[in-house]
Amino acid sequence: MSITLQTLTITEAHKALLAGDITVRALVDMYLAVIEEKNEELNVYLTLHTDIDDQVERAQQMFTNGTATELTGIPCALKANLMRKGQVANASSRILENYQATYTATVVQKLEDQGVVFLGATNMDEFAMGSSTENSAYGATKNPHDVTRVPGGSSGGSAAAVSADMALCALGTDTGGSIRQPAALCGNVGLKTTYGGVSRYGAIAMGSSLDQIGPFAKNAVDARIIWNAIRGQDEHDMTTISNDYWDTTVNKDVYSIAIPEGFLDGVEPAVLEVFNTAVLKLEQAGHSINRVPMPSLTYGLPVYYVVMPAEVSSNLARYDGIRYGKQVLGDTLLDTYVKTKSQGFGAESKRRIMLGTYVLSAGYADKFYTQALALKEKMKQDLEEVYKTYDFVLTPTTPTAAFKFGEKSSDPLQMYLEDIFTVSANIVGVPAISVPMGTVNLDGSDMPVGMQFMGRHSEDLAVLDIAEKFENL
Amino acid sequence: MDTKQILHLAKLARLELTDQEIETFPGQLANVLDFVRQVEDIDVSGVETRDFTIVNIMREDENPFETGEHREAILDAMPETKDEYLKTKKIL
């Protein structure tokens, strides 16, 4: 049996491994060969894990002794802000350049227990701040569909890995769209899980009220396999919710879907055209689709740019050059802090730390932070109303397809607008998925674009289900 | 936002800025703050923020690690150590 990586899914790879048509070694070697061939140009992996051979052997053993699962032997990429003991986890920052994880993240442990083979740490925007990987201290990742364009971000390396056949699946983190936006721009499925659904223990924190870990996969079925493996309450992450909480009875034959009226005005015409065609297909398949005014969605991005930097300024304060990571010695302790941070953090990290410092400072905290928390609550209430009638809120994942390097990097606000459709799911804590909806032609390259289904809290299975239904149309 | 304010903020955040950052940050941060300000006047009276009523979840501190189990890994990660201690500049 011959294996074609481009069309390979977890389900098919598992069948081949189980039947003995291919060994774990051979499968992993196919991916390593592609990495060898493409990584220099695409800059997807920062480092490869040093124990791949051991992992391969352990996975093959699970097939021999009958303990293999659907995920055993599946080659997976790991975003560089997720920790695997002994491996580099630098969050694409200079301040953690030689840092090796001292413990393993819960999600990674869960996948390791099933025999997943982790190939390496993927490039990202520094500390997950950005939408293009241009904020990485180790150079940007290139979009496999057109190397003059960005892969999206912040999990751009993980998204590109799956699209360039440098891994069969990947894990990323999503604070404001960092899984869904690169998934859309690279042409794969990306799931932002319900807040609290998946443990963040071992993820390098950015915005703790927003961060979630989730999968990149070739299709919704594969994404569900990974989601099922990584979810669940964890005593190491007190924000995880009880396993009893999941609503697993949400699958319907047809769904009611709301498109926010007037909210798509900024979408590029070519993207909107693909979106409208996709919407038509959903309608023809029997799903009911209505345009519904949802004014509070427009609060999403402004609220995000208060809450997120506030949390960033607090989370990144721990990098002081004393206990781990980079150290630049100064004359005094304070001088060491300042020199380490100033030389360790890139410009975007500095901007967001300062924004956070500003919105939390005396005299401004009420005006910005308290107002943002109130608006977050209002968004929750308004969306709960919408979800009484509708199963999903549907938008394009991004207003544009992949843009060129340098196109938005000089204007932070332009870059932030990339996340206009994705941030709301993080703010209110609901699950959302990006699924490929077609391509737009840009200067001769067919660039993928995605659509986003945002579902009710704890109904991750429903967003996976509608994504699968859409894929099958 | 002017240069003086940016430098003050940087000081609060324990950052030193490059000349280029001193030049570009005031405009860039002002743009973001202007963008954020579009929601400052939205009426939120009657909206109760549940965030302040969210409860802390604690667990029993039981089955502690064996003393020294993680010592080596943690010491290895430190930029500067002396014997089995973390070494820093003196504070006073």
Hey, is the C-beta of B8 within 8 angstroms of any chain A C-beta? no
pLDDT of residue A367: 86
| In chain B, domain spans | 1-60
Does the structure's ipTM exceed the value 0.85? yes
Provide the 8-state DSSP code for A297.
Answer: G
pLDDT of residue A425: 98
Per the structure block, which two tokens stand in for A209?
A: 């009220």
Q: For the residues B18-42, what does the mean pLDDT come to?
A: 93
Q: For the residues A114-129, what does the mean pLDDT come to?
A: 98
Partner-chain residue, chosen from B14, B70, B91, that has the shortest CB–CB distance to A341: B14
Chain B's closest residue to A376, CA to CA, is: B49
Chain B's closest residue to A88, CA to CA, is: B77
CA distance A408 to A131: 10
Hey, is the C-beta of A354 within 8 angstroms of any chain B C-beta? yes
Band the pLDDT of A436: cuts 50, 70, 90: very high
pLDDT tens for A322-358 read 999 999 999 999 999 999 999 999 999 999 999 999 9
Instruction: Give the orientation angle of helix A24-42 with respect to helix A52-64, to 10 degrees.
Output: 150
Q: What are the chain B neighbours of A429 within 8 Å (beta carbons)?
A: none
pLDDT of residue B63: 85
Q: For the residues A286-311, what does the mean pLDDT come to?
A: 96
Q: For the residues A63-84, what does the mean pLDDT come to?
A: 98
CA distance A242 to A231: 10
Band the pLDDT of A1: cuts 50, 70, 90: low
- Quote the minimal CA–CA distance from B45 to chain A in Å: 9
pLDDT at position B51 over 70 = no
Half-sphere exposure of B76 (CA within 13 A, CB side): 12
More confident residue, A175 or A249: A175
pLDDT tens for A357-407 read 999 998 888 889 989 999 999 999 999 999 999 999 999 999 999 999 999
pLDDT of residue A251: 77
pLDDT at position B53 over 80 = no
Q: Which CATH architecture has domain A5-245?
A: Alpha-Beta Complex (3.90)
A434 is catalytic: no
Q: What are the chain B neighbours of A329 within 8 Å (beta carbons)?
A: 89
Q: What are the chain B neighbours of A355 within 8 Å (beta carbons)?
A: 29, 32-33
CA distance A356 to A313: 5
Average pLDDT for chain B:
88
Mark out the alpha helices in A320-364 (DSSP H runs). 333-344, 347-359
Of A307-311, A364-368, B7-11, minimum mean pLDDT range: A364-368
> Hey, which residues does A121 pair with through a beta bridge?
A47, A78
Band the pLDDT of B48: cuts 50, 70, 90: confident
Q: For the residues B55-65, what does the mean pLDDT come to?
A: 82
- Quote the minimal CA–CA distance from B67 to chain A in Å: 16
Q: Which of A79, A192, A218, A376 does the annotation list as catalytic?
A: A79
CB A435 within 8 A of CB A473: no
CA distance A409 to A386: 35
pLDDT at position B52 over 80 = no
Q: Which of A131, A132, A154, A424 does the annotation list as catalytic?
A: A154
Determine the Cα angle at A378 with ends A389 and A268, to 5°: 70
Partner-chain residue, chosen from A102, A302, A354, that has the shortest CB–CB distance to B38: A302
CA distance A387 to A178: 24
- Contact flag B89-A235 (C-beta cutoff 8 Å): no
